[in-house]
Amino acid sequence: MNQAARKGLANLCIRASAVLVLFIVGSLSGCASLPQDAQQYGDGATPIELSETPFFPQERYQCGPAALMTVLTQSGVNTTLDSIVEQVYLPGKQGSLQMELMAATRASSRMPYQIDTSLSAIVGELQAGRPVLVLQNLGVGWIPRWHYAVVIGADPINDTVTLRSGTNRRRITNTQTFLRTWRRSGYWALVALQPGELPAGPDASRYFQAIAALESTGHVLEARSGWQAALDRWPDEPVAMFGLANVELALDNFTSAEDLYRQLLDKNPNSVSARNNLAHALARQGKNTEAMQQILVALDTVKDDAVMQAELQDSMAEIQQIALSENK
């Protein structure tokens, strides 16, 4: 290689290094600016800290169990850290999955609810007395260090948030830094709600999904409290009425289920799901003829919907079965 080429190559290396340094400094400081609405504390927010929140210092790689234990205990659940570790720690990943934290929250009869993706949503929960479990990436995108912690305080005057984090009982972090680490997880934040408790700024559809998830995983009584709270907040909401009716049916409260399905059908006569389930509520009370009539009415409205037709035919078979067993 001649002298000129050597010099050119050296020059190129220096330039490449300079670009790399800029890139590293840029990504380490997270220089992309944070969206304005994500960093507001909320109207009239004052410094707040839930100092009575319990603290469970984490073992190696076990920030997930420790953080979940913190919010569950604060929500009145009586459990042990060992039991939570058994439910959410994944040895092969040296960590815990978000979905397993949600499942374990349900296992403790609490409702996992993902709050809005903003600082003011966290502050709102703190004001309601609930600490917030967050997922942070303490590293950067290409050297990730995923970490669960619990926000217990926020101070708009000093611009800090306070966390139960790792082995640190009171970790005080600059709010901008916290928001950058939180943003890398897509602002993932969870509260553990007691059955029937509403989040500070509830999103109806997300709240309904959270209750339906409890119902479909077998937590029927918790779901009932949830649907009742939903109906108090959003009266006449068809999803909530349907949900409560289903829970009553699952609990063998046939007449109250029947009432709720009928109320729903008064408002929305074309709801095939409600009519199908009304037929079940009737059949379980021995009103088989009436149940069959409801199925026939429903079948009439879904001529173009093969899936619903199949559902209704299943129901018809089920009702005939009930009728047969009664006649024996």
Partner 1 sequence: MQFSSIHHFVCRLVSVAIISTGFVQISGAGVIGTQQMIDSEARQKQLSRVESFLLRQDVADQLIDFGVAPEMVMARIQHMTSAELAALEGKIGEQVAGGDALAIIGTVFLVLLILELVGVTDIFKSI
Return the residues of window 169-228 that contact partner 1 according to CB under 8 A.
Answer: 185, 208-209, 211-213, 215-218, 220
Residue 215 tokens, joined: 């119902």
Please say which residue, 14 or 31, places its beta carbon nearer to partner 1.
Answer: 14
28-57 residues near partner 1, rule: CB under 8 A: none
Closer to partner 1 by Cβ: residue 220 or 265: 220
Q: Does 22 bind partner 1 (CB under 8 A)?
A: no
Q: Write out the binding residues for partner 1, residues 94-123 only, by CB under 8 A.
A: 94-100, 102-104, 106-107
Which DSSP string do the residues of 141-167 spell out, in sequence order? TTB--EEEEEEEEEETTTTEEEEEETT
Stretch that binds partner 1, among 6-14, 71-79, 121-129, 196-204 (CB under 8 A): 6-14
- Token output for 106: 């349900």
* 301 exposure class (CB count in 10 Å sphere: 0-12, 13-18, 19+): middle
Burial class of residue 262 in the structure, from the number of CB atoms within 10 Å of its CB (0-12 exposed, 13-18 middle, 19+ buried): middle
- Nearest C-alpha neighbor of 170 from the set 157, 195, 153, 185: 153
How many chain residues are in contact with partner 1, going by CB under 8 A?
Answer: 72
Q: Which is nearer to partner 1, 73 or 277 (CB)?
A: 277
Candidate list 7, 8, 17, 19; residue touching partner 1; CB under 8 A:
17
Give the nearer residue to partner 1 in terms of CB position, either 45 or 190. 190
| Stretch near partner 1 under the rule CB under 8 A, chosen from 72-80, 124-132, 174-182, 317-325 | 317-325
Q: Which is nearer to partner 1, 125 or 222 (CB)?
A: 222
Among positions 62, 114, 160, 173, the unique one binding partner 1 when judged by CB under 8 A: 62
Task: Write the single-letter amino acid at 254.
Answer: F
In this chain, which of 7, 9, 22, 129 binds partner 1, going by CB under 8 A?
9
Burial class (CB in 10 A: 0-12, 13-18, 19+), 156: middle
Q: Which is nearer to partner 1, 45 or 101 (CB)?
A: 101
Tell me how far, at minimum, the Cβ of 141 lies from partner 1, in Å.
Answer: 10
Encoded one letter per residue, x for contact with partner 1 by CB under 8 A and - for no contact, window 251-280 reads: ----------------------x--xx--x
Taking CA atoms, 142 is separated from 69, 137, 188, 189, in Å, by 29, 10, 19, 22
Q: Which is nearer to partner 1, 68 or 200 (CB)?
A: 68
Contact between 130 and 196 (Cβ < 8 Å): no
Strands 146-155 and 160-165 come out as antiparallel
Structure-token match 């007449």, residue found: 255
Binding status of residue 144 toward partner 1 by CB under 8 A = yes
Separation CA 33–CA 89 (nearest Å): 34
Neighbours of 44 (CB within 10 A): 6
Q: What is the residue whose two structure tokens read 């009728």?
A: 323
Distance CA 153, CA 48 (A): 5
CB 201 within 8 A of CB 121: yes
Instruction: Work out which of 38, 39, 61, 237 binds partner 1, going by CB under 8 A.
Output: 61
User: Does the protein bind partner 1 through residue 243 (CB under 8 A)?
Assistant: yes
Please report whether residue 233 would count as binding partner 1 according to CB under 8 A.
no
Least gap, CB of 209 to partner 1 (angstroms) = 7
Please state the closest distance from residue 300 (CB atom) to partner 1, in A: 18
Rounded to the nearest whole angstrom, what is the least distance from the CB of residue 92 to partner 1 in the complex? 3
- Determine, following the binding rule CB under 8 A, whether residue 151 of this chain makes contact with partner 1: no
Give CA angle at 239 (238, 242), nearest 5°.
85
